Amino acid sequence: MQNKIRTQPKPNCMCCGSDGIYLYTSLQDRLFGVEGEWNLKRCKSQQCGLIWLDPMPINEDIYQAYESYYTHVDNVPSKHSIISKIISGYRAYEYGYLIDQTTLLHRILGKALSFFGFIKEHMDYPFIYFKDMPKGKLLELGSGNGDTLKLFKDWGWQAEGLDFDSKAVENASSKGLKVHQGNIFAQNFTSNTFDAIFSSHVMEHVPDPIGLMQEGLRVLKPNGCFVAVTPNASSRLHEKFKINWRGLEPPRHLQIFCPKSILYAAQQAGFKKIIITTGNYSAINIWLMSYKLSKEGAIQEQHSTYTRYFAHLVRFFLNVTHRFSLLSGEEIILIAYK
């Protein structure tokens, strides 16, 4: 099958320079139907373990993989549902997030539900990463439709977004959010501008993640915090579903980190204080989509009630086992300080 997107060979690991061995070959885009076949390599170094596309799309053609991407679409949860009120009550109690009107009962119920780890993880996101920081200027990389950026703004941050997708930028800007278009290198931000940088599921999409972190380090103020959430190649669901794991997503995921490789990348970028952990915030959706890929070869938005309940049980199981294997979660969380 001829690739619609032009490619270039990438025989070596961009983190440590080691050779790679083919992990999966002749993969197709079963999410958004971009034409072509793709191969994934894994770094031979046991101290790294990065997975990457070889060949890889050239920078000028990457945009073609995003023409029907879901950052164009709004997620509009009901602020009036009891679940939404309880979540807002917990966030008001725990983080001082007071944008939604909640009662004392909502706060008590939210705090009670937080004793269930898999529920707490959902209610904490993304506030927990910046809980102890004074609110200042924050840059979100890959701000998409602006949902998370609005959370930060409403929480009291001077929040700005950045996304290369013009449709996503237009969508987020229409909500009154400050969003820049392009990559971080083209913005010419002044050094020591931001107190915090946040990115969720961006590192796997960019051609030069180490360069991105280096630029992030430059524009952070002293003691500033860089947080990146990205799929974990060492997760239990990847181990289970292998070629059908939702986290592979060729050709948009140019590389997929494991804890060792993202630590190596952050060190290469120049960060000194680095914390690596993993979590299962996205585990339900990852399991649902991976299950559909394994059974039907494609992803469908509709899932039976039984399947959804089972996905919640899977997440509960993953959270239990995660206590004994802290680096096996679906997502890596990198927290690095300047």
List the chain pLDDT tens, one digit each, 338 residues: 667 899 999 999 999 999 999 999 999 999 988 999 999 999 999 999 999 999 999 999 988 888 777 655 555 555 568 888 899 999 999 999 987 778 899 999 999 999 988 889 989 999 999 999 999 999 999 999 999 999 999 999 999 999 988 888 999 999 999 999 999 999 999 999 999 999 999 999 999 999 999 999 999 999 999 999 999 999 999 999 999 999 999 999 999 999 999 999 999 999 999 999 999 999 999 999 999 999 988 776 678 888 989 999 999 999 999 999 999 999 999 999 99
Q: Are 35 and 3 in contact (CB under 8 A)?
A: yes
Residue 80 lies in a domain: no
Tens digits of residue pLDDT in 190-237 = 999 999 999 999 999 999 999 999 999 999 999 999 999 999 999 999
With a pLDDT cut of 70, the percent of the chain lying above it is 96
Please tell me whether residues 253 and 177 are part of one structural domain.
yes
Q: Which of 45, 68, 91 is the last residue of a domain?
A: 68
Residue 137 lies in a domain: yes
Q: Which of 68, 89, 118 is the last residue of a domain?
A: 68
Structural domains counted in the chain: 2
How far from 111 is each of 69, 103, 106, CA to CA, in Å? Answer: 36, 13, 9
Minimal CA–CA distance to 31: which of 285, 246, 253, 302?
246
Residue 103 lies in a domain: no
| Residue 202, domain extent | 133-337
3-state secondary structure of 296: helix
Question: What is the value of pTM for the model shown?
Answer: 0.93
Q: Which of 68, 99, 118 is the last residue of a domain?
A: 68
Tens digits of residue pLDDT in 159-168 = 999 998 888 8
Residue 93 lies in a domain: no
Residue 124 lies in a domain: no
Please tell me whether residues 148 and 62 are part of one structural domain.
no
Please tell me whether residues 166 and 309 are part of one structural domain.
yes
Please tell me whether residues 143 and 258 are part of one structural domain.
yes
Please tell me whether residues 173 and 62 are part of one structural domain.
no
